[in-house]
Amino acid sequence: MERQQAEAAGPLDAFRQFFALQRDVLVLSLAMFAFSLGFQMTSRYLPEYIVALGASGFVVGLFGTVGNIISAVYPYPGGAVSDRLGSRYALTVFGLLSTVGFGVWLVAPAIGTVELASVAIQPWIWIFVGLFLAQAWKSFGLGATFAVVKQATDPSRLAAGFASTETFRRTAFLIGPVLAAVLIGFHPEFTVSFQYVLATAVVFGAVGTIVQHFRYDASSDTIGDSFEGLEQVRRDFRDMPEELRPLLVGDTLVRFANGMVYVFFVLVVTRFLSVGLETTIAAGGFSYALDLSPEAFFGYLLGVEMLIALLVMAPAAKAAEHVGLKPVVALGFAVYATFPIVLINTPESTLALILVFAFSGLRFAGLPSHKALIVGPAEQDTGGRVTGTYYLLRNTVVIPSAAVGGYLWDSVSPEIAFTVASVVGLVGTGYFLLFGREFDAYR
């Protein structure tokens, strides 16, 4: 593959490099953009949706744990399917499943409570059902997306390659929650207004599936060996590149910490702090009264978080070419670890919440370098499988994190849940700083 020459020193440079990437990476990133819009419009609000449909805080934690199970189980077979069949058809199937999942979430309130063998099936159960489908592109397709970028990028430019695609994709993370906040403002009842959001997500999922199927050039796909069952899983565990082991341990602790409280971020804003935004905007002799509910304000907070992420990812990837991947990854881990304790102790202030979510955006600075550190040591034609193995190990350990956080949230206190999460995350960050190894191409 040709070495990418464009320098990525800022978000605009990252966009220029993105459009200079090979067609398969470009088309894949467009699909990423569509699915990210759909998923980011919906996923961060699902805990509030579940509570609105009658679930408890502990059920929210169980929902997060089910999501962790899916994240653990899906990437490995997804990577194996991608390596064996090629990315195009694998991602098309994953895209269709995700789009159907958005649709299940959309119709959940209409299904209502169903009596089955004298057992009442509550409406929030269908949110769990939809999750198994909606996560397909995001989790099944994980290995395929890593492998495509690896195939198209010079090893010494992996962080920059991921920064270009991630910057483009994360733009959807900025637009999606803000668009959701606008749609939520159309109706005073959250369950109704959120259905507008879900309907829009179905459209984005369908568009993303069509684009990637008909515009993706599969001629450059490389195909790995066929899947050989559980023995292959064990062999892939044994053959995981040595450089990944310290990263895996530190990353697992950090993600366990984040998993304990991630699903509760929206509830902190909407129910624990219950902070919205009420102000008057004046310009050109006109004034406009802005009154945002906590639910709508949460969408704008996520927009602030992603705006900071877009500003820092490309410069951080460029910095990694000079200082190495490890320091940049460690910075992202540190922000992940400290954010929970900062958020739960934030005063009931609009400005304070804006600043806290801006701080949270800094965690994405290490994301491109983190991905490069995972897939960089993999041999050709095994990028999807190495990625799947890594995430299978990490996400398996993280499975109970949300249930642990939900138990602490309901049975002890939200403050304790978020404090324990930060302690666990800081331990993981410290471990990676002590034992993490650098990828040779960045030495």
The overall average pLDDT reported for the chain is 81
Domain that holds residue 127: 11-218+242-442
The terminus-to-terminus CA distance of the chain in angstroms comes to 21
Residue 5: pLDDT band (50, 70, 90) is very low
The proportion of the chain whose per-residue pLDDT surpasses 70, expressed as a percent, equals 72
- Given a cut of 50, whether residue 82 has pLDDT beyond it is yes
- Given a cut of 70, whether residue 142 has pLDDT beyond it is no
Residue 304, domain member (yes or no): yes
State the average pLDDT over residues 198-218: 84
Residue 402, domain member (yes or no): yes
Residue 106, domain member (yes or no): yes
The confidence score (pLDDT) of residue 115 equals 78
- Stated as kind and residue range, the H or E segment containing 128 is helix 125-134
pLDDT tens digit string along 339-352?
999 999 999 999 99
Residue 143: pLDDT band (50, 70, 90) is low
- Given a cut of 90, whether residue 102 has pLDDT beyond it is yes
Domains contained in the chain, number: 1
- Given a cut of 80, whether residue 263 has pLDDT beyond it is yes
- Given a cut of 80, whether residue 158 has pLDDT beyond it is no
- Given a cut of 80, whether residue 218 has pLDDT beyond it is no
> What is the secondary structure of 213-253 as a DSSP string?
HHH--GGG----PPP--HHHHHHHHHHS-TTHHHHHHHHHH
- Given a cut of 70, whether residue 331 has pLDDT beyond it is yes
State the average pLDDT over residues 162-174: 70
The confidence score (pLDDT) of residue 4 equals 42
Residue 378, domain member (yes or no): yes
Residue 79 near residue 388 (C-beta atoms within 8 A): yes
Give the Å distances, CA to CA, from 1 to 19, 148, 220, 380.
16, 12, 10, 12
Residue 237, domain member (yes or no): no
Residue 253, domain member (yes or no): yes
State the average pLDDT over residues 302-330: 87
- Given a cut of 70, whether residue 2 has pLDDT beyond it is no
In the 3-class helix/strand/coil scheme, how is 384-420 assigned residue by residue? HHHHHHHHHHHHHHHCCHHHHHHHHHHHHCHHHHHHH
* CATH (domain of 364): 1.20.1250.20
Residue 8: pLDDT band (50, 70, 90) is very low
Residue 434: pLDDT band (50, 70, 90) is very high
Residue 413, domain member (yes or no): yes
- CA 53 – CA 48 distance, rounded (Å): 9
Residue 209, domain member (yes or no): yes
